[in-house]
């Protein structure tokens, strides 16, 4: 088996392939271009997209060139795959702004000094934005049957639930297939990778190129990653785990991985780090907390750099083991004047954004879950004043693992 595919499987990336044997032979004999498409519906990607990014990184490792397709055109429509309702339509200005910001993540993960391996960034609006509708239907639409389109899960699920599916969304699968055709013609792209929910769309592209040009290309899918708890990868009760320090501080990112369920640690070391697979096997029986710290360090280092990873680990040690304040914890600023007469504990916790409702704060206080500078709070009427601030800093803790610094300005 080709070395790329072998590691792809051993890391847990593999789900399906349109022709595994022939793809293996191809990858063993030549370096190719392969692409993954990414939505531009938000100004940043979250960890739900990280598996796909790691796939592109692995491609680079074995000498293949990644193409990052940013859906400036398809985002204007919305992918119905796995969705219960029509997506909100974004303005063109917002989509372009999102694309500009999302590129930064790929420039971190796919950085290389080899010009032959540098990622190619493409925006499918470049070809979708100027399509001649009649010509497109005649040349491309003829290769798609309504019977087959209705059989795909992205369509069938919505119809079975008697949920609306717009004609605009119904066309999405054709446009994604057309993307593959364009990338084949412009970049000789021979492989599309995507999540298992994209299988139908990927197969459409493979079939379109075969019917339209008589050429063979390949599709490869990854499993949808869920946590051992059954939750979807990428979000927590506090929100999305963003891949950008503007939206999520490096410390919070580190903490997300540090708090991984014991059952997921080895799997995530394989999927989300560059650690050698043999090393992971050799340490799989080590202390689970040491493995979690290793996971947090390696994942944070990839995104935010070694220094940020080390700072996050030191902050965690100071916070949890020594009970110290740390300026590297998430910080919220308030004016000194707001605290002169004292601020009720409920207001302080609201300001910290650890909990967003007073009724929930009261419940947590009753359950002994709130601390100020490691001091247990048992009275919801207590006032926090300037004397509770050390060097203008006050630590608010919710449980054992969630901490925010309130800073006086």
**Encoding tokens for residue 199?**
């299988």
* Sign of the torsion formed by the C-alpha atoms of 313, 282, 59 and 191: negative
| Reported confidence tier of residue 87, pLDDT bands at 50, 70, 90 | low
pLDDT score at 328: 66
pLDDT (0 to 100) of residue 99: 94
- Of 274, 289, 321, the position where a domain reaches its end is 321
Q: CATH number of the domain at 352, please.
A: 3.10.290.10
DSSP-assigned beta bridge partners for residue 67: 35, 120
Nearest alpha carbon to residue 328 among 338, 341, 349, 314: 314
Whether residues 16 and 39 fall in one domain? yes
- 96 & 195 share domain: yes
Q: Residue 281's pLDDT is what?
A: 96
What is the C-alpha separation between 183 and 69, in angstroms, rounded? 9
User: Region 80-106: what's the mean pLDDT?
Assistant: 79
pLDDT value of position 402 = 85
Residue 196 clears pLDDT 80, i.e. is over it: yes
Choose between 393 and 391: higher pLDDT.
393
pLDDT at 326: 62
- pLDDT for 304: 97
Q: Out of 62-76, 189-203, 307-321, pick the least confident.
A: 307-321
Contact 268, 302 (CB under 8 A): no
User: Do 348 and 317 fall into the same domain?
Assistant: no
Considering the domain boundaries, does residue 236 fall inside one?
no
Residues 196-221 have a mean pLDDT of 94
For the stretch 316-357, pLDDT in tens is 887 665 555 565 678 888 988 888 888 999 999 999 989 989
pLDDT recorded at residue 166: 73
pLDDT of 84 higher than 60: no
Dig out the tokens for 137 from the structure. 């239907």
- Whether residues 140 and 171 fall in one domain: yes
363 shares its domain with 316: no
- Specify whether 78 is located in the same domain as 196: yes
Instruction: Look at residue 80 and tell me whether its pLDDT is greater than 60.
Output: no
Q: What value, to the nearest 5°, has the Cα angle with vertex 404 and ends 400 and 408?
A: 145
pLDDT of residue 145: 79
Number of domains in the chain: 3
Is residue 241 a part of any domain in this protein? no
Domain boundary, last residue among 293, 321, 349: 321
* Same domain as 71, residue 37: yes
Q: Please state the pTM of the whole predicted model.
A: 0.78
- Distance between CA 107 and CA 70 in Å, rounded? 13
End-to-end CA distance of the chain: 61
Is-contact 176 74, C-beta < 8 A?
Answer: yes
Percent of the chain past pLDDT 70, that is, above it, reads 93
Whether residue 227 lies inside any domain: the answer is no
Residue 235 lies in a domain: no
* Residue-level pLDDT at 324: 56
DSSP run (H or E) holding 182: helix 172-187
Whether 261 and 345 map to the same domain: the answer is: no
Q: Are residues 308 and 175 in the same domain?
A: no
Among the ranges given (227-231, 355-359, 393-397), the one the predictor scored with the smallest mean pLDDT: 227-231
- Of 301, 321, 341, which one is at a domain's C-terminal end? 321
Q: What is the pLDDT of residue 223?
A: 95
Residues 140 and 273 in one domain: no
Could you list the residue range(s) of the whole structural domain that residue 314 is in? 249-321
Highest mean pLDDT out of 48-62, 143-157, 170-184, 195-209: 48-62
Please report whether residue 210 resides in a domain. Answer: yes
Q: Kindly tell me if the per-residue pLDDT of 158 is higher than 80.
A: no
pLDDT of 20 higher than 60: yes
Percent of the chain having pLDDT more than 90?
Answer: 60
Tens digits of per-residue pLDDT, 29-71?
A: 999 999 999 989 889 999 999 999 999 999 999 999 999 999 8
Task: Decide if pLDDT at 143 tops 70.
Answer: yes
Stretch 233-258: mean pLDDT: 85
* 189 shares a domain with 122: yes
Nearby residues of 341 by Cβ (< 8 Å), 6 or more positions away: 385
Does the residue 9 lie in any domain? yes
pLDDT at 173 over 60: yes
Rounded alpha-carbon distances, angstroms, from residue 86 to 49, 53, 161, 165 = 21, 26, 14, 7
Question: In this predicted structure, which of 47-51, 148-152, 280-284 has the lowest mean pLDDT?
Answer: 148-152
* pLDDT (0 to 100) of residue 274: 97
Average pLDDT value for residue range 126-149:
86
> Of 88, 1, 2, 74, whose CA–CA distance to 38 is shortest?
74
Would you state the structure tokens that stand for residue 159, as one six-digit string?
């119809």
117 and 260 co-located in one domain: no
CATH of residue 197: 3.40.50.620
Task: Decide if 340 is inside a domain.
Answer: yes
């Amino acid at each position: 088996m080709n070395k790329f595919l072998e590691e792809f499987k051993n890391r847990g990336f593999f789900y399906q392939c349109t022709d595994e044997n022939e793809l293996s032979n191809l990858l063993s004999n030549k370096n190719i271009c392969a692409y993954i498409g990414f939505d531009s519906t938000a100004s940043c990607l979250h960890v739900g997209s990280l598996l796909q990014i790691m796939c592109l990184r692995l491609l680079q490792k074995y000498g293949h060139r990644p193409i990052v397709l940013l859906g400036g055109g398809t985002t204007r429509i919305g992918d119905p795959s796995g969705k219960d309702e029509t997506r909100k339509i974004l303005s063109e200005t917002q989509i372009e702004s999102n694309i500009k910001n999302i590129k930064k993540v790929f420039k971190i993960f796919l950085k290389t000094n080899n010009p032959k391996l540098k990622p190619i960034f493409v925006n499918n609006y470049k070809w979708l934005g100027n399509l001649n509708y009649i010509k497109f239907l005649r040349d491309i639409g003829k290769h798609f049957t309504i019977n087959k389109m209705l059989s795909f899960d992205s369509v069938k699920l919505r119809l079975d639930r008697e949920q609306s599916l717009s004609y605009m969304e119904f066309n999405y699968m054709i446009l994604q297939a057309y993307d593959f055709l364009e990338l084949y013609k412009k970049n000789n792209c021979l492989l599309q990778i995507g999540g298992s929910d994209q299988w139908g769309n990927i197969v459409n592209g493979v079939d379109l190129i075969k019917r339209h040009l008589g050429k063979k290309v390949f599709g490869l899918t990854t499993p949808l990653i869920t946590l051992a708890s059954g939750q979807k990868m990428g979000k927590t009760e506090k929100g999305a785990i963003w891949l950008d320090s503007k939206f999520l501080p490096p410390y919070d990112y580190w903490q997300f991985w540090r708090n991984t369920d014991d059952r997921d640690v080895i799997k995530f070391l394989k999927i989300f780090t560059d650690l050698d697979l043999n090393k992971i096997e050799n340490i799989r029986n080590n202390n689970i907390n040491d493995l979690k710290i290793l996971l947090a360090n390696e994942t944070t280092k990839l995104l935010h750099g070694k220094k940020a990873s080390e700072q996050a680990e030191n902050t965690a040690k100071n916070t949890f083991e020594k009970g110290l304040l740390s300026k590297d914890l998430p910080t919220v600023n308030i004016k000194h004047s707001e605290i002169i007469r004292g601020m009720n504990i409920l207001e302080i916790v609201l300001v910290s954004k650890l909990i967003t409702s007073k009724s929930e704060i009261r419940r947590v206080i009753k359950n002994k879950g709130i601390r100020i500078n490691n001091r247990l709070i048992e009275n919801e009427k207590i006032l926090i004043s300037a004397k509770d601030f050390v060097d203008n800093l006050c630590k608010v803790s919710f449980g054992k693992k969630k901490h925010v610094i309130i800073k006086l300005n």
